[in-house]
Amino acid sequence: MADRTLLGIVGSVSADSRTRTAVEIALDAAAERDGVETEVLHLADYDLETADGRGIDNYDGGTAEALELIVEADAYVVGTPVYRGSYSGALKNLLDMVPRGQWQGDAAPFENAAVGLVATGATDHHFLAVDQELRPAFAFFGAHAVGGATYASGDDFEEGELVDEAVRERLATLGGATVDLSEAIDESEALGSLGPAI
**In this predicted model, what pLDDT tens digit does every residue of 20-38 receive, in sequence order?**
999 999 999 999 999 999 9
Mean pLDDT to the nearest integer, 179-191:
96
At 57-104, the pLDDT tens digits run 999 999 999 999 999 999 999 999 999 889 999 999 999 999 998 777
Domain residue ranges of the chain, discontinuous segments joined by +:
4-187
- Bridge partners of 120, per DSSP, are 81, 152
Q: Could you confirm whether domain 4-187 is CATH 3.30.565.10?
A: no
* 137 pLDDT above the threshold of 60: yes
Secondary structure string (H, E, C) spanning 59-82: CCHHHHHHHHHHHHCCEEEEEEEE
What is the reported pTM? 0.95
Q: Where are the strands (E) in 11-145, listed by range?
A: 36-42, 75-83, 86-87, 114-121, 144-145
130 alpha carbon, distance to own chain's centre = 11
Q: Coil, strand, or helix at residue 135?
A: helix
Give pLDDT, residue 105: 77
d(CA 155, CA 121): 9
pLDDT of 1 strictly over 70: no
Which band of pLDDT confidence, cut at 50, 70 and 90, is reported for residue 189? very high
